[in-house]
Amino acid sequence: MAKISRFFLAVFMMMAFALPSSAAFKDIKIDLAESAFLEASEKDDSAHPRVSLGLTVADDGTLTRVAADDASANIVLEGCWWNSHGWSGTSATLAVEGPVKIGIGSCAFAGHDITVKNAEGQEVAKFAAGGLGCWEGNKTEENITYAYYSGEATTLSISIPSYCPYLSVEKTDYVPTEVTVTYALGEVACEGDLVPAAVKITSGESTIIPANFTLYVEGKTLTAWTDGTNTYAVGSEITPAADVTLTPVFTANEVSLADRTEAVTLKWDFQRKNGAPTVAWQGKDGLVWVTQATINGKVIDVKADLSTNPGKMANGSWTDWAQLNGGTTFSIPSCKGAVVSVEAYNALGTGDSPLTIDGHKDYTSAKVIEYTVDNTAESIDVVIGSEGSYYRYIQTVLPVVEDEPIQTGWQDIKIDFTNGQMLTSSENSSIVSFGVSMVDGNAVRVAADDASANIVISGKYHSDQHGLANFSSTVKVEGPVKIGMGSCAWGGDVTIKNEAGETLGTFNTNNGACWSNSNPTENIVYGYYTGEAATLTIAGGAYTPFFSVEKVEEVPTEATVTYSLGDVTAQGEVPAAVKVLAGEKVVIPANFTLYVEGKTLTAWTDGTNSYAVGSEMTPAADVTLTPVFTANEVSLADRTEAVTLKYTFRRDEGAPTVAWQGKDGLIWVTQATINGKVIDVKADLSTNPGKMANGSWTDWAQLNGG
């Protein structure tokens, strides 16, 4: 049946619109594909001249062509005839006496939204007319999309940028009631915050729960949306009788990509006609684009990490294309033998800055390209170049990969990425993947799939000072190992995972100093793996100038420093527990999240010893500390000079890791110096609405609207 889009506008006019008696409104139905009223020269299939004309409508619906400025015209058209596709770039202007139903014939090649404006230039309707069959091939209601104008008398301007084979405007007494289906995250925490756009439909009609493109939870799949009482599966219909708000339901996956027993196709589609949401992202990191994979009969969400910094992604002006500017980067799952394909409007692989796949551009130039990945990395980058302009999708086909030996007998691994030997200047800013074989204690670069490789490395070569960015390594170990990462002032979190993707340990390489091969034993941060033989994936660190994996017979004992309020009454939350090697030093953290009115947190105590904020302690075993609040001798009111209060959210400046959403009653604390005395000063904080999260960066925090 015909697709109906409802749009409403309460129009209040100071004066009724006066229509000439010679141009009183009549129902209009125009076959623009036939356009019998055009002259032969206006149907030139090579020139497509632009035409402007008026049409009068007889009582029996017959159309007669008149001049565009003829007062008897019931409608004025401007556009170009494109044979069976109808007209293109069409504008239609007509006076109406009240509510009308507007019909647009569908065309498989139509890809833009139709907009309707009133005499004041206000947009009163906007809808897409694609997704049905071609009206020219089947001139029935099934291939017409309808929208409604429900206001008073006015002059309507209808803009149809793409192909239009049929146009109708009919008077109607039907004024439908609308309801809104709103999508919201509610209390759900996930990657991505772009929920589907709200949908307005006629009460009693149905709308389909959209596929997931922009929300992701690791190890789970968005399977449904719920109103709190009823749950609606993705792809099912909902028929609301009133406004309703839906929140996502994520279900734990029973399988992963690693469980595939046959090739799996992952297609990240950008086309709105295929369900993609409207996006306009520029200069943004931390985005995701989600598709679905079927693994052994079970469907799971699979994300592509996305950055438009630099770059841009926007698809609002087309239903079948997305604009992707140079620098836009998609990080997609991969494996050796994966076949990546991309479709663009212009031929890819041309110019000075072409699209690259895993750092390579040695594919055959075409509008649809394919590239077979040669390395074993679990993810690769597809970086948009300057040549494609508009894109439909990125796709990869992951074959089943048999486990291959990574090393031949254990040897301690030590790799310097800054000495110009492991990486060359020609690889600067390039994504690299290679193996490293340890020969008599020396690191020798080999192919990623070389059987002699003790470890496989991937990342983006930044410089001979910072080494690799986006570092990742895969190594088979025979038991406990000590993992070393050269520190960097721009360091970050490192994760140690097993073959199942489970996180076994984390540590951070930002200690405020940079590793240098002039002092190779200094400024190395260590983490430990304490299990049995396994294949480990070690990744992160932001910049990695040096990396080592060394076998150890005995793993040092860990000590945990736990922070607790104990019997102390205070507003806020205690710092997170810290694990260190027994005998190592721990710095007592600055206070960001606890507050007692009229007092300042000056120390923490284990009941016997007190440790001032900013001082060091050396735990020999697990210890629990409780806060010591000291009465203030001054307040802000006592200041005799200007006082600066800086509430920093940066983890590299001591801020704790937080992930607050939909919460009231929070605080964030800083310190002020008043007449030489330091006091705590709080800021009351609410993330309801809103969000505050800094776990993904050391120098930024995400703060959402509200």
Q: Give the 3-state secondary structure of residue 410.
A: coil
pLDDT of residue 409: 63
Torsion of Cα atoms, 158 then 164 then 166 then 172, to 10°: -30
Q: For residue 559, what are the contacts with CB-CB under 8 A and spacing of at least 6?
A: 579, 580, 581, 582, 583, 584, 619, 620, 621, 622, 623
Q: Which residue has the tokens 């690791």?
A: 218
Q: Which residue has the tokens 């994760």?
A: 495
Q: Give the 3-state secondary structure of residue 107.
A: coil
CA atoms of 393 and 118, how far apart (whole Å): 37
523 contacts 514 by C-beta, under 8 angstroms:
yes
Residue 317 CA: distances (Å) to CA of 125, 185, 403, 682, 703: 16, 26, 45, 46, 29
CA atoms of 37 and 67, how far apart (whole Å): 12
Nearest to 654 by CA among 594, 704, 589: 589
Report the 10 Å Cβ neighbour count for 428.
12
**What fold is seen in the domain 413-551?**
Jelly Rolls (2.60.120)
175 contacts 150 by C-beta, under 8 angstroms:
yes
CA atoms of 317 and 314, how far apart (whole Å): 8
Nearest to 146 by CA among 26, 6, 32, 33: 6
351 contacts 308 by C-beta, under 8 angstroms:
no
Give the rounded distance of the alpha carbon of 389 from its chain centre.
20
Angle at 381 between CA 375 and CA 386, to 5 degrees: 125
pLDDT of residue 11: 31
Long-range contacts of 238-243 (CB under 8 A, 24+ apart): 238/181, 238/206, 238/207, 238/209, 239/204, 239/205, 239/206, 240/179, 240/181, 240/201, 240/203, 240/207, 241/179, 241/203, 241/204, 242/179, 242/203, 243/179, 243/180, 243/181, 243/182
Beta strand 481-486 pairing with 442-446: unpaired
Render pLDDT for 194-219 as a digit per residue (tens, 0 to 9): 999 999 888 888 999 999 999 999 99
pLDDT for 554 beyond 60: yes
Find residue 94's DSSP bridge partners: 156
41 contacts 90 by C-beta, under 8 angstroms:
no
> How many CA atoms within 13 Å lie on the side-chain side of 54?
14
DSSP state of 197: P
122 contacts 116 by C-beta, under 8 angstroms:
no
Render pLDDT for 496-541 as a digit per residue (tens, 0 to 9): 999 999 998 888 777 656 788 888 888 888 888 988 999 999 998 7
Supply 446's token pair.
Answer: 């080999």
Report the 10 Å Cβ neighbour count for 533.
9
Query: Looking at 139-153, 664-678, 692-706, which range is the least confident one?
Result: 692-706
Of 271 and 14, more confident: 271
pLDDT for 242 beyond 60: yes
Maximum mean pLDDT: which of 314-328, 420-434, 491-505: 314-328
Supply 2's token pair.
Answer: 């015909």
- Dihedral pair phi/psi, residue 447, rounded to 5°: -65, 155
pLDDT for 13 beyond 50: no
HEC sequence for 587-606 = ECCCCCCEECCCEEEEEEEC
- Dihedral pair phi/psi, residue 195, rounded to 5°: -80, 160
Residue 440 CA: distances (Å) to CA of 196, 406, 414, 549, 677: 57, 18, 12, 15, 59
CA atoms of 550 and 414, how far apart (whole Å): 8
Render pLDDT for 622-660 as a digit per residue (tens, 0 to 9): 999 999 999 999 999 999 999 999 999 998 899 998 989
Q: Which residue has the tokens 């310190």?
A: 671
Report the 10 Å Cβ neighbour count for 433.
22
Q: For residue 697, what are the contacts with CB-CB under 8 A and spacing of at least 6?
A: 651
Report the 10 Å Cβ neighbour count for 586.
18
Supply 178's token pair.
Answer: 């609308």
pLDDT for 20 beyond 60: no
Mean of pLDDT over the chain: 90
- Dihedral pair phi/psi, residue 100, rounded to 5°: -140, 155
- Dihedral pair phi/psi, residue 425, rounded to 5°: -60, -30
User: What are the residue ranges spanned by the domains of the chain?
Assistant: 3-171, 178-252, 257-398, 413-551, 559-704
Beta sheet of 599-605, edge-to-edge order = 578-581, 558-563, 623-631, 599-605, 610-612
210 contacts 186 by C-beta, under 8 angstroms:
no
Residue 458 CA: distances (Å) to CA of 205, 286, 403, 487, 540: 52, 20, 18, 18, 11
Band the pLDDT of 68: cuts 50, 70, 90. very high
Of 140 and 128, more confident: 140
Query: Looking at 76-80, 140-144, 520-524, which range is the least confident one?
Result: 520-524
pLDDT of residue 227: 97
pLDDT of residue 27: 96
Give the type of residue at 366.
A
pLDDT of residue 1: 41
Render pLDDT for 393-413 as a digit per residue (tens, 0 to 9): 999 999 998 654 444 568 899
Q: Which residue has the tokens 């109906």?
A: 4
CA atoms of 380 and 359, how far apart (whole Å): 9
Peptide bond into 689 cis (omega under 30): yes
Report the 10 Å Cβ neighbour count for 405.
9
Report the 10 Å Cβ neighbour count for 243.
13
Beta strand ranges found along 234-387 (DSSP E) = 237-238, 244-252, 264-269, 280-282, 287-295, 298-307, 312-314, 322-325, 329-333, 339-348, 356-357, 366-372, 379-383
Long-range contacts of 696-701 (CB under 8 A, 24+ apart): 696/286, 697/651, 698/491, 698/492, 698/493, 698/508, 698/510, 698/542, 698/650, 698/651, 698/652, 699/650, 699/651, 699/652, 700/649, 700/650, 701/649, 701/650, 701/655, 701/658
